[in-house]
Amino acid sequence: MFDRFAMLALLSFSLGAMAADEGKVKALLKQADDFRLAIASGRVETEVRSFKGDALDKTRLYAVYLKPGRRSLVLFRTASERGQKMLMLGDDYWLMMPSSQRPLRITAMQKLLGEASTGDIATMTWSDDYDGAVSGEDVIDGLPCLKLDLLGQRKGVSYPRIVLYLAKKDRHPVQAELYVASDKLAKLARFRMGEVGGRRQVTVMTLIDHLQKERSTEVHYLSRTGKTLSDDYFNPAFLVRADLTQ
C-alpha cells in the first residue's frame, strides 16, 4: 500500500513539474514575441533584402496585416509584384494574383522572396505555435542566453523544430536555429534590436541559409501601427475581388 501511495505521489509531483515547466516556457516565448511583434492586431511594414554572398540580389516591400486567431494578410508593395496578396488563416494559405479571379491554395513553405518563407515575415508566433523546454544556457556574441528546444504544435509551421536563444537579462531573441521536417538545419536567424516608439524591439532579422550556400536574407521591420482591416478582408472569396491599395 505504501509503495502505491509513493508511486501516486511521485506521479503527481512529476505532472505538476511538467505543467510548471510548460508554463515557464510559454511565458518566456510570450516575452520574446513581444519584442518581435508588439501588436496582436495591426499593420507591419516590412522590407526583405535577399543577398548572394555579400551582393544585394533583390529587395521587396510588403505590408503585413495581423489579426488575432492566427490570421495574417500580406500585400505585395514592390512595383513588379503590386496587386498580389497572400492570406494566412491558421494552417490554410492562399495566394491571389491580379490576373486571376480565383484564390490559389499554397503550402506553408512556399517562398515570398528568396530565403524568407511566409512564416518568416508574417505568421510565426513562438508562444502560439511552439512548445518545449529550457535545455541549458549559452553565450552568443558575449551575451548570456537561455537555450530553448522547441517543437511545432501545428502542422502548418514552417519549421517543425527550433533551437531558440533568449537573452537572460530581458528575454529578447538573440538567435534561432530553424530546422525543416527532415531535421536538417535550414536557416540560422539572428535578431538585431533597436528603439521603436520608445521601446526596444527587433528591427532586423537576418536569415543565413544553410541549405543554399552563400544565400542570406534580411527582414527589416520598418514600422508597426495599430491600423487594421475589417474581417471581410480575411475571407479569400472576398479578398480575391477586393481592390486593396492600403
Is the model's pLDDT at 180 over the cut of 60?
yes
Between 112 and 28, the higher pLDDT residue: 28
Domain borders along the chain are 34-239
**How many residues appear in the chain?**
246
Do 221 and 46 form a contact (C-beta atoms < 8 A)? yes
CA 30 – CA 208 distance, rounded (Å): 24
**pLDDT for the residue 5:** 54
Q: How many alpha carbons fall within 13 Å on the CB side of residue 151?
A: 5
Q: What is the mean pLDDT of the chain?
A: 86
pLDDT in tens, 54-84: 999 999 999 999 998 889 999 999 999 899 9
Q: What is the pLDDT of residue 107?
A: 78
33-42, 97-106, 140-149 — most confident range? 140-149
CA nearest to 36, candidates 242, 187, 214, 200? 200
C-alpha dist (Å) from residue 2 to 6, 11, 62: 6, 14, 64
Average pLDDT over residues 181-199: 93
Q: Which residues contact 222 (CB under 8 A, 6 or more apart)?
A: 45, 46, 47
Q: What is the mean pLDDT of the segment spanning 33-48?
A: 88
Residues 6+ apart with CB under 8 A from 137: 144, 145, 146, 147, 168
pLDDT at 17: 42
pLDDT band at 228 (very low <50, low <70, confident <90, very high): confident
In the predicted model, is pLDDT for residue 112 greater than 60? no
Task: Indicate whether 11 pLDDT > 70.
Answer: no
Structure confidence at residue 87 (pLDDT): 92
Report the run of H or E that residue 27 belongs to, with start and end: helix 2-36
Q: Does the domain formed by 34-239 have CATH 3.30.390.30?
A: no
Give the pLDDT score at 23. Answer: 80
Confidence check: pLDDT of 115 > 50: yes
**Pick from 3-12, 17-26, 110-119: least confident:** 3-12
pLDDT, residue 96, reads 92
In the predicted structure, residue 179 carries a pLDDT above the cut 60: yes
Mean pLDDT for the stretch of residues 131-149:
97
Runs of H (alpha helix) within 45-144: 118, 126-129
Whether 212 has a pLDDT exceeding 50, the answer reads yes
Q: What is the mean pLDDT of residues 42-50?
A: 93
How many whole angstroms separate alpha carbon 20 and alpha carbon 148? Answer: 15
Predicted pLDDT of residue 120: 76
